Amino acid sequence: MISFPNCKINLGLSITGKFSDGYHRLETVIYPLLFSDILEVIPSVEGTNELTVSGIPLPGKTDENLCLKAWKQLNEVYNIGAVEMHLHKIVPAGAGLGGGSADAAFTLKILNEIFRLQLTETVLTGFAARLGMDCPFFIVNSPALATGRGEILEPVDINLSGYHIAVVKPDIHISTAEAYSGVKPAEKPIPLGRLIREPVEKWKNLLVNDFESSVFGLYPVIRKIKEKLYGTGAVYAAMSGSGSAVYGLFENIPDLKNEFPGCFVWQGRL
């Protein structure tokens, strides 16, 4: 079975506090993109578990990939047996786009279908939450306000289908620890769930990604990408997640492929 794990962007991201276990409390609106990897999963004929990867090279060891961890979770509970998986990476890693989380969540959904486990969305979301904070979103895969550690999802009535988007990722990998190290948690005067209802044209002065202040200081090139997106006509631009990808929303989008030398650039519709 073949599926297409899509990625996401964050529309605003506030770090509002910290839990006793060290995890941060956050508030963000997550929006799915029509930009995806390709994942194939089939039951293993040889009875051996295998994951092969092509496309954009992935950091780390293959046996630590979240797709394998997703299979392991379900196999430990339901004894589904070995599978062969092939992941063709198109979404860059270390970008704040949730590509790896999407791959893991879609693995859970494919395995549920292949082996007819009949697991509900709620049960799958529970498995996904153990894999990573962004993973539960991709089980539902529709616009949502994420709170808590990112695992509490509330549907958001927002439709950006009339806009174009450009995603620009420089050759910079930002670790989660590095991104959080420069953030000072603080409650916001107006909840993001209320701000997101304002017209997109107002978001520039309303929505904030708390990671930007520290990341831009460490990597000025990322700040310059955001400024350039506004300079080329973006209605709204921001870093996604903890970076390093920056996106811009456009009513009419120019061809930006040559505007950001040395960067990965993807353009499409929302």
pLDDT tens-digit profile of 166-203?
Answer: 999 999 988 777 888 888 888 888 999 999 999 999 99
| 246: alpha, beta or left? (left if phi > 0; alpha if psi -120 to 50) | beta
Which are the contacts of 174, defined by CB distance < 8 A and separation ≥ 6? 94, 96, 215, 219, 242, 243, 244
Cα dihedral across residues 228, 229, 235, 236: positive or negative: negative
Q: Label residue 3 by pLDDT band (50, 70, 90).
A: very high
pLDDT at 150: 84
DSSP state of 40: E
- Is 30 or 184 the better-scoring residue by pLDDT? 30
Segment 250-266 shows an average pLDDT of 94
> pTM for the complete prediction?
0.94
Measured CA to CA in angstroms, residue 3 lies from 103, 110, 135 at distances of 9, 8, 16
The proportion of the chain whose per-residue pLDDT surpasses 70, expressed as a percent, equals: 100
Which are the contacts of 189, defined by CB distance < 8 A and separation ≥ 6? none
Domains of the chain (ranges, CATH numbers)? 2-155 (3.30.230.10), 164-269 (3.30.70.890)
Would you say residue 265 has pLDDT above 80? yes
Collapsing DSSP states into helix, strand and coil, what is residue 49?
Answer: coil
pLDDT at 46: 87
Catalytic residues: 8, 134
The proportion of the chain whose per-residue pLDDT surpasses 90, expressed as a percent, equals: 81
Euclidean distance between CA atoms 133 and 164, whole angstroms: 27
Would you say residue 20 has pLDDT above 80? no
Pairing of strands 2-3, 38-43: antiparallel
Per residue in 113-142, pLDDT tens? 999 999 999 999 999 999 988 999 999 999
Euclidean distance between CA atoms 73 and 267, whole angstroms: 35
Euclidean distance between CA atoms 199 and 201, whole angstroms: 5
Per residue in 45-79, pLDDT tens? 888 899 999 999 887 777 789 999 999 999 999 99
Euclidean distance between CA atoms 210 and 214, whole angstroms: 8
Would you say residue 224 has pLDDT above 80? yes
Strand partners, 235: none
- Mean pLDDT, the chain, as a whole number? 94
Per residue in 100-112, pLDDT tens? 999 999 999 999 9
